Amino acid sequence: MAVGKSLIILTISIGLLSACSTQNTLLHTSESSYASTKSNYQPVDTSVGALINYMSWQANRLEPYDQQQQEQSVFFALNNLQNGEMTRWYNGNTGAQGAVKVSMTYPQGSGYCRVIMSQIIYNNKQRDFKETACINAVDNSWRFIR
């Protein structure tokens, strides 16, 4: 039993640490689509702290349908909106809502990048995101820079 708990805590800790080390990597998904609305976490100097942070993150994550709404709004904004324009979504069942605004667009290589500002409100918490995505000229897919 103790070994099983230790393995769970170790797995969570490694996952959280590896997630923190992915600086300047290109990803196909928006951080705002899967992040938690909680942004202030405890220092992770013990496995208990990591577990508490993980449980808090899970409790404040968007429901899968709301995550999908956020992701669709992000890609709609990237593909269709002009600088300064905004799109919004709302789920009356969960009370979750979000907004995505295109802040700026700039050339990059043979394509361009867009900076978007996202806001998510869920469980009476609000979280704001600033993300940059660049279009891949080869396959017309967006890559998020972290």
Q: Which has more pLDDT, 105 or 43?
A: 105
Which element (helix H / strand E) includes 134?
strand 125-136
Inter-axis angle of helices 2-20 and 47-59, nearest 10: 70
Query: For the segment 128-146, what is each residue's pLDDT rounded down to a tens digit?
Result: 999 999 998 888 899 999 7
Mean pLDDT computed over every residue of the chain: 79
Confidence of residue 17 (pLDDT cuts 50, 70, 90): very low
Distance of alpha carbon 129 from the chain centroid? 8
The domain locations on the chain are: 1-18+46-59, 65-146
